[in-house]
Amino acid sequence: MQTHKNRVAVVSGAAKGIGQELAIQLAQRGAALALLDIADLSQTCALIEEVGGKAIAIHCDVSQEADWIAAGELVKNQYGRCDILVNNAGIYPNVHFDDLEFKTWRRTFEINLDSMFLSAKVFVPMLRANGWGRIVNVSSTSIVTNAVGVSHYMATKMGVIGFTRGLANDLGKDFITVNTLAPALTATPGTSHIPDAVRDGIVNLQAFKRMAVPNDMVGPMLFLTSEDAQFVTGQVLAVDGGMMKTC
């Protein structure tokens, strides 16, 4: 199933969790990968090599414009192009509003939302040069829950949806699709700190009474980054076991 053959995909937050699983499966489907993270990417690279794929690892603090510019140059020098951009990197600091400091608010915005603007500024010109492109920004279904201690996080994830819709309008003339994937609370190293009571409360809102795992997100992401999604843009795809229900 070489659905992504000859495509070059940039995936942020690829060292673990959803980003790692997506990168491996994109490689299995023929894509060449550029992996971005501040964490060690050697495991992801090794797993991609095991399935016969190709990847480069780029140390990148996604909140820093200079890091994105450098990443773009590395991708251009290595592959000469970019076709797919997946903005998956994010943080989930659980802090009640009473204890929330402005520096935490700002850092959450820098990583979860500013990074998507910075990545688009670097890679949209490459997508446009190809006459083909797919952008997937990762939000969260936490925006419709009654979770406490995440006002800053929810603000960024709502911002992701707004940015996605605006960018989809701006890039429509180029036939570059821009969509949001909104995962349920997913079992990854980044969510391991969440208390069991909070986790259980979220799962109880779902039709499927289990916590999501990274692979649950990959199929929808593969669709949104494929040729099959050529007329899907500006959309929010909730992958949450039936928690968000819209008409």
Write out the two tokens for 101: 């400091």
Rounded to whole angstroms, the Cα distance separating 190 from 160 reads: 19
Burial class from Cβ neighbours inside 10 Å (0-12, 13-18, 19+) for residue 182 reads buried
Residues tagged active-site: 153
Who contacts 215 (Cβ-Cβ below 8 Å, separation ≥6)? 21
Burial class from Cβ neighbours inside 10 Å (0-12, 13-18, 19+) for residue 100 reads middle
Report the DSSP beta bridge partners of residue 12: 36
